[in-house]
Amino acid sequence: MISVEEAREKIFEKTPDPAVEMLALEKTAGRILAEEVVSDIAMPPFNRSAMDGFAIRGIADEYRLMDEIPAGVQPKPITEHGYAAPIMTGAPVPEGADRVVMVEATGVADGMLTIRKMPVEGANICWEAEDITKGQTVLKKGTLITPAEVGIAAMSGREVLSVFRKPVVSVLTTGSEVIPPVHIPKPGQVRNANGVLISSFLTQAGYPSVKVFHSADDPKSLKNAAAQALSMSDILVTAGGVSMGTHDYVPSVLEDLGFKFHFRTVAQKPGKPFSFATDSRGKIMFGLPGNPVSVLVGLEMYVLACLRLFSGHDRFHREELTGKLSGSIRKKVGRLNFFRTKAELTGDGWVLSTPVTSGSGDLMSAKGTNSIAWLPADSTGAEAGSSVPFALMSWSGGESCWQ
């Protein structure tokens, strides 16, 4: 049995380097950039008007009007003081003009313009190259691409980008007693909550599973299901069948399929029977326990970090926060304990409340929680008001969960 920190380090050590692929610009949001993006032009590419108004030259009592300047045309220069050209937002400012006056500050009568409030020289003009110079690196390798970065890449002349590929994930739930959610359980049966729990977690995190499989506790059917899942994915996440029981066949089946287990148990609660294995092809297997709360902890504290590293993120360590407990917690010495908590940010910092729970099978106790706190292996608990480490759940904290 290894420690939580040792388990994380082993996962990071064995996660393959991310692969690179080219994607059309409109499909790159949410990916990590695998190249630098350099602008082939200056931005703005010309002096342009920041608003609808009048381009003028010099200060005068009134101005004779010239032809209107819409966007997308090359305007005539203003060569003399006392002339003004109506101009639209985004249109090129004519040579010779030294400012743009907004429409609201002007009046027009008999073909002449008067200005009620004169702006300063250079006002309301977006100057050429004030945002980006030609040849400037506008996006660095390793950048998380959001719609803003997509727009910047488009302004820089790009239609495709080199990005790190996201791993393909499949899910395999196990158990002869596990039945589809629409069925009424008979004595000894339970509904399959883990399949949709894992797939929805992965989808919310940006890694939708390619397929969810289920197998009874039978080595042959389990091997067939695992082989099929692995044939279409980089990472297999299983739930159940990884403990030391006589019907826990997942480890032996994965070994038959060429996987090497780097650990099979972790000194943690919940989720002690948690497995991690890889094969010679660079494929990864996470074996989660069958209890749904243990599944949530495993996904949050291990699997998602691996997915981010596999996808080219340089921020894949959980951001550790500190909060004060609103009530006391008791635990046994020996394993690090994870606690589902509800974190609220107050004027005095984070306050953590813990739900009443009957154990790692009590998924109702996770309802309404948004964070996971933990106490070290040698701790016997903590009193109300004590400060403890915690992390926001990924769906609650987003990118702020990572460092």
Does the pLDDT at position 245 exceed 80?
Answer: no
The candidate with the shortest Cα–Cα distance to 99, out of 58, 61, 65, 64, is: 58
Beta bridge partner(s), residue 63: 113
pLDDT tens string 4-54: 999 999 999 999 999 999 999 999 999 999 999 999 999 999 999 999 999
**Which residue, 66, 101, 126, sits at the end of a domain?**
126
Residues 71, 187, single domain; the answer is no
Q: CA-CA distances (angstroms) from residue 29 to 206, 317, 324, 343?
A: 11, 22, 37, 30
At residue 361 the predicted structure's pLDDT band, cuts being 50, 70 and 90, is confident
At residue 244 the predicted structure's pLDDT band, cuts being 50, 70 and 90, is confident
**Which residue, 277, 310, 343, sits at the end of a domain?**
310
Mean pLDDT to the nearest integer, 149-163 = 97
Q: Do the domain assignments include residue 331?
A: yes
Residues 333, 395, single domain; the answer is yes
Q: What's the pLDDT score for residue 249?
A: 92
Q: Do the domain assignments include residue 393?
A: yes
- Helix, strand, or coil here: 220? helix
Residue 67, domain CATH: 2.170.190.11
Q: What's the pLDDT score for residue 42?
A: 97
Residues 83, 102, single domain; the answer is yes
Q: Do the domain assignments include residue 316?
A: no
Q: CA-CA distances (angstroms) from residue 47 to 43, 85, 97?
A: 9, 15, 10
pLDDT > 70 fraction of the chain, expressed in percent and rounded: 100
Query: Side chain identity at 76, as an amino acid letter?
Result: K
Helix locations, 65-176, DSSP H: 147-155
Distance between CA 172 and CA 288 in Å, rounded? Answer: 10
**Which residue, 77, 100, 126, sits at the end of a domain?**
126
Residues 13, 31, single domain; the answer is no
Residues 186, 278, single domain; the answer is yes
For 4-42, the DSSP string reads: HHHHHHHHHHHSPPPPEEEEEGGG-TTSBB-S-EE-SS-
Residue 153, domain CATH: 3.90.105.10
Q: What's the pLDDT score for residue 64?
A: 96
Does the pLDDT at position 84 exceed 80?
Answer: yes
Q: Do the domain assignments include residue 289?
A: yes
Query: pTM (2 decimals)?
Result: 0.89
pLDDT tens string 381-392: 999 999 999 999
Query: DSSP state, 336?
Result: E
Residues 140, 31, single domain; the answer is yes
Residues 145, 176, single domain; the answer is no
The number of beta carbons lying within 10 Å of the beta carbon of residue 162 is: 17
Tell me which residue range forms the domain holding 172: 4-19+167-310
Does the pLDDT at position 359 exceed 90?
Answer: no
Q: CA-CA distances (angstroms) from residue 282 to 46, 164, 206, 233, 258?
A: 50, 16, 21, 11, 11
Distance between CA 340 and CA 328 in Å, rounded? Answer: 14
pLDDT tens string 389-403: 999 999 999 999 999
Total domains in the chain come to 4
Residues 359, 286, single domain; the answer is no
Residues 172, 150, single domain; the answer is no
